[in-house]
Structure 1
């Protein structure tokens, strides 16, 4: 079939990009790690073209940086970067939830709300148990699906990108936390309840609480002189998975 080669390559490109993004989110490809197209292509046993395209996609998303004559590097986010992400996230999220409460979830959203609630419950359960990798996957899906109820894909995609970057910064620091559960936010179901019943003030306070906890943590990291990229998994070997069919633990099932 004409064009089937391009379709296959694009699918492989997305699979590789998704797998590498999950490895970065899980901290197995830590900040500052460098690798080449050839290394990733050999790891996945695929040609260089879809790998190069996947790495360019991740660079466009702000997760990788191109290193001249050396390949790519996982971007190092500073505490100041993290604080800026939260400020941007706060502005966008405040607008999203204000509109959601004002407009209501609307007709035809019943099935979508069931899905969002499932993500909320799983994310909250993972946070309460300190299961970081599981939490990341469900948390990203929760916020993305909740934002999509607004019906504006540009807003939800923008917020999703910021949230991914926040997790990339946070993971290596959280992995060193002796009391991990005290650092995780688990108000997902409370927030969804507030949105569902149209309680604008409760939704605003929960989002404010969530973002303020991030800013407070950023201040503590700043005071402690936190160094990005020094967490678990920062050794020299690139291990983005065992092949093209690998599924990362940070990706929840649909």
Structure 2
């Protein structure tokens, strides 16, 4: 690309992230199936870009556990088991339990600040959208809103490392879950929709209620995936 090297580096970095996001969405939408193999060249041709940002994006997704790298054959979509999902649920629980413990000890002290109140209201609206998608059984819409909901909610606790770690866990959880949920023709009544209840519990500074809501959510999700995996 003509111009300064700095601009080229920024453009490549942006392209790398765009490709990674697009491929992640392909996996979540079920268009890239578990175990499906592809090469850097194939992805570069599909998106009409050079190999370098594609290779970097694929390496990033491999580091996140969404893909597996094969030195001789390229990359493949990672295949998760129900046991993997159980491990993800346990890890997520440790993170959210830490968030709720923080709340009990005075975390989110800024919750009464007008900006914090507005931020929590925005998270609740995101939760309402997620609930509507869950009630309709619209998995694609639900995943998008659910990921944004949890990222913004965890961001309210002021620790970007925690928010980033939980986001990665939730992406992995969805990648694992969709491999099984896509087998169900009608998902109405299957999907968790307690987002606003959780926000309301946090707004009341009620960590015990928040813990109960998330514990029931995790139990529901795990039972569903294990049941579908056993089919």
TM-score by length of 2: 0.92
Structure 2 contact 13–53 (Cα < 8 Å) conserved:
yes
Q: Secondary structure at the match of 2:65?
A: coil
Q: Secondary structure at the match of 2:69?
A: strand
Match of 1:114 among 108, 116, 121: 121
Structure 1 contact 64–72 (Cα < 8 Å) conserved:
yes
Q: Secondary structure at the match of 1:181?
A: coil
Structure 1 contact 143–160 (Cα < 8 Å) conserved:
yes
Aligned to 1:215: 222
Match of 2:43 among 29, 40, 47: 40
Q: Higher helix fraction: Structure 1 or Structure 2?
A: 2
Aligned to 1:160: 167
Structure 2 contact 137–190 (Cα < 8 Å) conserved:
no
1:110 deviation in Å?
A: 2.4
2:64 maps to 1:61: yes
Structure 1 contact 79–221 (Cα < 8 Å) conserved:
no
Aligned to 2:209: 202
Aligned to 1:22: 25
CA distance, structure 2, for counterparts of residue 90 and residue 104 of structure 1: 18
Aligned to 1:98: 101
* CA offset digits 1:150-203 (Å, max 9, x no partner): 111111111111111111111131122244122200000010000011122211
CA RMSD, 1 decimal: 1.4
Number of aligned residue pairs: give it: 224
Structure 1 contact 41–48 (Cα < 8 Å) conserved:
yes
Structure 1 contact 98–204 (Cα < 8 Å) conserved:
no
* CA offset digits 1:27-64 (Å, max 9, x no partner): 11111010000000000111000100110111111101
* CA offset digits 1:195-232 (Å, max 9, x no partner): 011122211110111111122224424543xxxxxxxx
CA distance, structure 1, for counterparts of residue 168 and residue 81 of structure 2: 17
* CA offset digits 1:112-155 (Å, max 9, x no partner): 21221121110011001111100000000101111111111111
The verdict on how the C-alpha distance between 1:222 and 1:131 changes in structure 2, with shifts beyond 3 A counting, is closer
Structure 1 contact 9–50 (Cα < 8 Å) conserved:
yes
Structure 2 contact 97–211 (Cα < 8 Å) conserved:
yes
Match of 2:7 among 4, 7, 15: 4
Deviates most, 72-81 or 91-100: 91-100
2:133 maps to 1:133: no
CA distance, structure 2, for counterparts of residue 78 and residue 116 of structure 1: 31
CA distance, structure 1, for counterparts of residue 28 and residue 132 of structure 2: 19
Runs (4+) of structure 1 exceeding 4 A deviation are none
Higher RCO (CA < 8 A, seq sep 6+): 1
TM-score by length of 1: 0.84
Deviates most, 125-134 or 103-112: 103-112
1:70 deviation in Å?
A: 0.9
